[in-house]
Copies of this chain bind each other. A is one copy, B any other.
Amino acid sequence: MYGVLPARFELCLVGPSAGPVRSAQGPEVVARYSYRDAPPPDIVLVPGGIGTRVLVEDHWFLDWLAGWAAGTELVTSVCTGSGVLAAAGLLDGYRATSNKAAFAWPVSQGPKVDWAPQARWVEDRDRWTSSGVAAGIDMTLAVIAGIHGEDVAASLADAVEYEWHRDPTWDPYAAKYGLCQG
């Protein structure tokens, strides 16, 4: 969603080294900066995907992420990205959520996190975590609304014809995956 507002947000992908990074889904994207060279961000967004399972074993990466994210205005995650934030200690003492289809895994990464098993996304001070991929769209629209106003976010959702769920407690998936009673 940030990418549709290039005058307001500059998207910057970072990776192990500058250059192509292959997704577990096949396609490659280009990291503009290596972790070491990445400039200080305003907003951090950690995505999910199966690659998260390797990242949480990489202690150099987790230390780097903890330092890089520490001074930012907002640290966010989509899907199992909250498992990576948790492994880096960035969610200790925070309330957070994650993908309902894989909820046990992020929980295993953050024993000091107050995990919410039913939430579209969770806003806790400067740490916002969203559930499965599509929930990340709703959370990001809420981030944009907080910075640029509700009208900007609503216009953006209409322009891409996305039915925005504005209520962070809307979550029919928790029951589908047995995390609460339906």
Q: Which residues of B contact A28 (CB under 8 A)?
A: 29-30, 32
Q: Is A116 an interface residue (CB 8 A)?
A: no
Residue of B nearest to A132 (CB): B161
A19-27, A38-46, A107-115 - interface stretch: A19-27
Q: Is A55 an interface residue (CB 8 A)?
A: no
Q: Is A134 an interface residue (CB 8 A)?
A: yes
- Assembly CA distance A160 to B32 (angstroms): 27
Query: Are the CB atoms of B30 and A6 closer together than 8 Å?
Result: no
Query: Are the CB atoms of A20 and B23 closer together than 8 Å?
Result: no
Task: With A134-B163, A163-B165 given, name 19 new contacts (CB 8 A).
Answer: A3-B23, A4-B25, A13-B27, A27-B29, A27-B30, A27-B32, A28-B30, A29-B30, A99-B159, A100-B161, A101-B159, A120-B161, A132-B159, A132-B162, A133-B161, A134-B161, A158-B173, A161-B173, A163-B163
Least Cβ–Cβ distance between A15 and chain B, in angstroms? 12
Instruction: Select A26's contact among B6, B79, B131, beta carbons within 8 Å.
Output: B6
Query: Are the CB atoms of A101 and B158 closer together than 8 Å?
Result: yes
Residue of B nearest to A48 (CB): B160
**In chain A between 125 and 182, which residues have their CB closer than 8 angstroms to a CB of chain B?**
131-135, 158-163, 165, 173, 176
Residue of B nearest to A23 (CB): B3
- Assembly CA distance A160 to B120 (angstroms): 12
- Assembly CA distance A4 to B100 (angstroms): 16
